[in-house]
């Protein structure tokens, strides 16, 4: 589309709306259709730099504050307050939602107007709504229309809060997370979250209009918690409750940390209550999604008490009869496992809480193992969860010695008598054997999922195996299943028709940090990676989506080969040495 076409369309539609329509009998339907056209124009992706400048100019000129001049935003604000005409109001609210999503940086400048409009409608409709148990008015046209507009108003609030908070999806738990797999291509780290506002154009464009920033969005969130949420969290409509809980899924840790403990507790308790006690599956599913987001906040994932409540709420929903609920609950479960994995790496083992190193891990692993027998959408999340668990399971029989050294100075001599020491060593040895048994069950689940799961499941298995290899207490060369695991990765690398799976398999093969970790599979891995590199140009590309990943696969294969070649030496077996000599001779 020519760059100037979209602004012309938007301006023309706005002018027609302001001038009105000749046929008064159809005025409402024509007006609703015109605003609907504005919504489509404002929703165009990628967003338009010209439209963005148009909106900035309107806000900068004070149109929103004075309401004396016309503009796109002023028009939308005007018609979004026509509550007596639900159709027009609904269309205007949907257009405002599109503005917040595609042009998030202007939301802070007009937040007061957005908040006032949404709160005004919530106050009017929610005070008239029947109690949660009442069936009066259910099914009536006015009730149905009010509910649709109410839900859309909440979505406008949700999108606005995401915009001012800088929401970009589930947060990485550490700044050095990308260093976990040093020989990994950038392509496996890129992801776009559809529910996050579109910030790309805002950052790339050279012309930036500065407004007074409202910090991280905490001020707007506080207002929403105090004014808006009490009206909708316990609404009689399940769809309204689900929409209100979904707002919490757009929060960021920078906002959450600014809240008082009272507000933090309000958010956490609201989510747990909705996930556990609400009778409607869609509400419980929405609560699980929000739990999956908030569990990744550092101040939350380091609290054993909060995680216990979250785990309980999520586990209940992983057993729900509806697959849609189990999908969201399993996704939240995987995020919680990610949070625990991260906390275990930054805190001494067991310091998160008394149960973090035993009961919680056992509970999570059993739940995730059970979910690997579910459908593919649940299975992929279960595999991801097991990957994080496998990274922190303590598989070494020397666990007692490793953990007790730091505590000797604080223990009394009476406690460290020979009898107690022997009991502790026996208990730790027993725990290690149980962890090894659990780890073996997890690995068998990975292998099973490779053969029974779809493309997404297979990708997550490769990702999970990369996490398994990062377990610092694990001696891969001593595990009976190690050759099988490497064989599975090599099979996917050689034969998968999906390039993203092959990229992730190659990345997982670049994780082990010594030749001993590769064990007897080392020679086969070197030869297989080289063979794939040599023949990649002859591969049949199964679909258009794979074209853009060919270069990324080549890059990842190169990085993986560089990694494993570090461990070659004169002590390698003769077949491998002959193979390497042949390769280098051909390249000369």
Phi (first) and psi of residue 160, to 5 degrees:
-65, -40
Within 13 Å and on the Cβ side, how many CA atoms surround 20? 4
Among candidates 151, 55, 165, 68, which has minimal Cα distance to 110? 55
> What is the spatial distance between Cα 496 and Cα 26, in angstroms, rounded to a whole number?
58
> What is the spatial distance between Cα 124 and Cα 377, in angstroms, rounded to a whole number?
40
> What is the spatial distance between Cα 171 and Cα 400, in angstroms, rounded to a whole number?
34
What is the pLDDT, as a whole number, of residue 197?
78
> What is the spatial distance between Cα 394 and Cα 380, in angstroms, rounded to a whole number?
24
Instruction: Measure Cα distances from 9 to 68, 282, 297, 495 in Å.
Output: 23, 38, 42, 50
In the predicted model, is pLDDT for residue 318 greater than 70?
Answer: yes
In the predicted model, is pLDDT for residue 238 greater than 50?
Answer: yes
What is the pLDDT, as a whole number, of residue 375?
96
Phi (first) and psi of residue 553, to 5 degrees:
-65, -45
Q: Are 7 and 48 in contact (CB under 8 A)?
A: yes
Choose between 129 and 466: higher pLDDT.
466
User: Would you call 335 exposed, middle or buried from its count of C-beta atoms within 10 A (0-12, 13-18, 19+)?
Assistant: buried
3-state secondary structure 422-444: HHHHHHHHHHHHHHHHHHHHHHH
Omega within 30 of 0 (cis) for the link into 46:
yes
372: pLDDT confidence band, cut at 50, 70 and 90?
very high
Choose between 164 and 538: higher pLDDT.
164
> What is the spatial distance between Cα 481 and Cα 498, in angstroms, rounded to a whole number?
25
If DSSP codes are grouped into helix, strand and coil, which group holds residue 456? Answer: helix
**Residue 438: CB partners within 8 Å, gap ≥ 6?**
362, 365, 393
Among candidates 279, 273, 32, which has minimal Cα distance to 148? 32
Give the mean model confidence (pLDDT) for residues 297-320.
Answer: 93
What is the pLDDT, as a whole number, of residue 104?
92
CA 291 to chain centre: 11
Give the mean model confidence (pLDDT) for residues 48-65.
Answer: 84
What is the pLDDT, as a whole number, of residue 491?
96
In the predicted model, is pLDDT for residue 427 greater than 70?
Answer: no
Look at phi and psi of residue 560 and say left if phi exceeds 0, alpha if psi is from -120 to 50, else beta. Answer: alpha
3-state secondary structure 79-124: HHCCCCCHHHHHHHHHHHHHHHHHCHHHCHHHHHHHHHHHHHHHHH
> What is the spatial distance between Cα 488 and Cα 482, in angstroms, rounded to a whole number?
10
> What is the spatial distance between Cα 157 and Cα 433, in angstroms, rounded to a whole number?
52
In the predicted model, is pLDDT for residue 350 greater than 80?
Answer: no
SS3 content of the chain, % helix, strand, coil (to 5): 70, 0, 30
In the predicted model, is pLDDT for residue 211 greater than 70?
Answer: no
225: pLDDT confidence band, cut at 50, 70 and 90?
very high
Task: Give me the chain's average pLDDT, please.
Answer: 83
Q: Which runs of consecutive H residues, i.e. helices, occur in 510-549?
A: 515-518, 522-535
> What is the spatial distance between Cα 557 and Cα 569, in angstroms, rounded to a whole number?
21
> What is the spatial distance between Cα 308 and Cα 528, in angstroms, rounded to a whole number?
44
Q: Are 477 and 399 in contact (CB under 8 A)?
A: no
What is the pLDDT, as a whole number, of residue 214?
42
Q: Are 229 and 272 in contact (CB under 8 A)?
A: no
Choose between 370 and 27: higher pLDDT.
370
Phi (first) and psi of residue 585, to 5 degrees:
-70, -40
In the predicted model, is pLDDT for residue 441 greater than 60?
Answer: yes
In the predicted model, is pLDDT for residue 353 greater than 60?
Answer: no
What is the pLDDT, as a whole number, of residue 184?
57
Give 32-50 as a DSSP string: HHHHHHHHHHHT-SSPPHH
Of 78-92, 351-365, 553-567, the poorest mean pLDDT is in: 351-365
Write down the number of H helices and E strands in the chain. Answer: 29, 0
pLDDT tens, residue by residue, 248-273? 999 999 999 999 999 999 999 999 99
- Number of Cβ within 10 Å of residue 259's Cβ equals 18
Radius of gyration of the chain (CA): 28
pLDDT tens, residue by residue, 512-545? 999 999 999 999 999 999 999 988 877 766 667 7
Return the beta strands (E) in 174-308 as ranges.
Answer: none
Among candidates 53, 50, 19, which has minimal Cα distance to 34? 19
What is the pLDDT, as a whole number, of residue 406?
42
Among candidates 267, 257, 306, which has minimal Cα distance to 290? 267
Give the percent of the chain with pLDDT over 90.
58
- Number of Cβ within 10 Å of residue 385's Cβ equals 31
In the predicted model, is pLDDT for residue 136 greater than 60?
Answer: no
pLDDT tens, residue by residue, 65-104? 555 557 899 999 999 998 888 999 999 999 999 999 999 9
Phi (first) and psi of residue 28, to 5 degrees:
-65, -45
pLDDT tens, residue by residue, 484-511? 999 999 999 999 989 999 999 999 999 9
What is the pLDDT, as a whole number, of residue 123?
87
Task: Supply angle C-alpha 327, 334, 375, rounded to 5.
Answer: 35
Q: Are 301 and 341 in contact (CB under 8 A)?
A: no
In the predicted model, is pLDDT for residue 411 greater than 60?
Answer: no
Instruction: Measure Cα distances from 104 to 8, 84, 100 in Å.
Output: 21, 29, 5
> What is the spatial distance between Cα 210 and Cα 468, in angstroms, rounded to a whole number?
46
What is the pLDDT, as a whole number, of residue 573?
73
In the predicted model, is pLDDT for residue 119 greater than 70?
Answer: yes
Of the segments 185-194, 299-308, 370-379, which one has the largest average pLDDT value?
370-379
Q: What is the residue extent of each domain of the chain?
A: 1-106, 502-588
């Amino acid at each position: 589309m020519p760059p100037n076409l979209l602004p012309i369309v938007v301006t023309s539609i706005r002018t027609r709306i302001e001038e009105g329509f000749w046929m008064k009998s159809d005025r409402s339907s024509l007006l609703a259709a015109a605003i609907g056209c504005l919504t489509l124009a404002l929703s165009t992706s990628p967003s338009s730099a010209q439209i963005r400048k148009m909106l900035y100019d309107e806000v900068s000129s004070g149109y929103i504050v004075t309401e004396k001049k016309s503009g796109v935003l002023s028009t939308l604000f005007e018609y979004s307050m026509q509550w007596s005409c639900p159709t027009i109001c609904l269309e205007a609210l949907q257009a405002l939602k599109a503005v917040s999503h595609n042009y998030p940086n202007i939301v802070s400048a007009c937040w007061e107007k957005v908040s006032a409009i949404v709160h005004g409608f919530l106050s009017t409709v929610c005070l008239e709504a029947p109690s949660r148990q009442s069936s009066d008015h259910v099914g009536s046209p006015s009730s149905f229309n009010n509910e649709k507009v109410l839900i859309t108003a909440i979505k406008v609030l949700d999108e606005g809060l995401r915009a001012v908070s800088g929401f970009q999806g589930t947060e990485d738990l550490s700044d050095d997370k990308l260093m976990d797999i040093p020989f990994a291509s950038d392509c496996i780290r890129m992801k776009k979250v559809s529910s996050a506002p579109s910030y790309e154009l805002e950052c790339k464009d050279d012309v930036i209009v500065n407004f007074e920033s409202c910090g991280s969005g905490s001020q707007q969130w506080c207002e929403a918690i105090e004014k808006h949420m009490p009206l909708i969290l316990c609404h009689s409509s399940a769809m309204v409750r689900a929409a209100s809980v979904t707002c919490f899924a757009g929060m960021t840790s920078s906002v959450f940390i600014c809240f008082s403990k009272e507000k933090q507790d309000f958010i956490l308790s609201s989510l747990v209550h909705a996930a556990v006690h609400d009778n409607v599956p869609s509400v419980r599913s929405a609560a699980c999604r929000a739990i999956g987001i908030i569990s990744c906040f550092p101040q939350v994932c380091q609290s054993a008490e909060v995680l216990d409540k979250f785990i309980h709420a999520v586990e209940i929903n992983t057993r729900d009869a509806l697959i849609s609920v189990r999908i969201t609950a399993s996704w939240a479960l995987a995020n919680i496992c990610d949070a625990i994995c991260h906390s275990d790496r930054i805190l001494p083992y067991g310091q998160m809480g008394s149960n973090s190193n035993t009961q919680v891990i056992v509970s999570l692993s059993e739940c995730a193992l059970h979910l690997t027998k579910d459908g593919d959408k649940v299975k992929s999340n279960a595999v991801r969860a097991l990957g994080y668990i496998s990274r922190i399971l303590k598989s070494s029989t020397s666990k007692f010695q490793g953990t007790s050294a730091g505590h000797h100075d604080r223990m009394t001599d009476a406690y460290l008598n020979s009898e107690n020491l022997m009991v502790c060593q026996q208990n730790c040895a027993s725990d290690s054997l149980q962890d090894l048994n659990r780890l073996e069950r997890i690995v068998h689940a990975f292998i099973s999922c490779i053969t029974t799961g779809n493309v997404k499941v297979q990708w997550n298995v490769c990702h999970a195996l990369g996490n398994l290899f990062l377990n610092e207490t694990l001696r891969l060369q001593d595990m009976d299943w190690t050759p099988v695991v490497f064989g599975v990765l090599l099979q996917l690398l050689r034969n998968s028709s999906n390039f993203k799976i092959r990229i992730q398999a190659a990345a997982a093969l670049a994780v082990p940090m010594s030749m001993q970790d590769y064990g007897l599979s080392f020679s086969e891995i070197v030869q297989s990676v080289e063979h794939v590199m040599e023949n990649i140009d002859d591969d049949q590309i199964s679909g258009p989506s794979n074209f853009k990943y060919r270069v990324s696969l080549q890059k990842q294969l190169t990085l993986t080969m560089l990694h494993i070649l570090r461990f070659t030496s004169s002590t390698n077996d003769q077949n491998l040495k002959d193979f390497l000599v042949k390769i280098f001779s051909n390249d000369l």
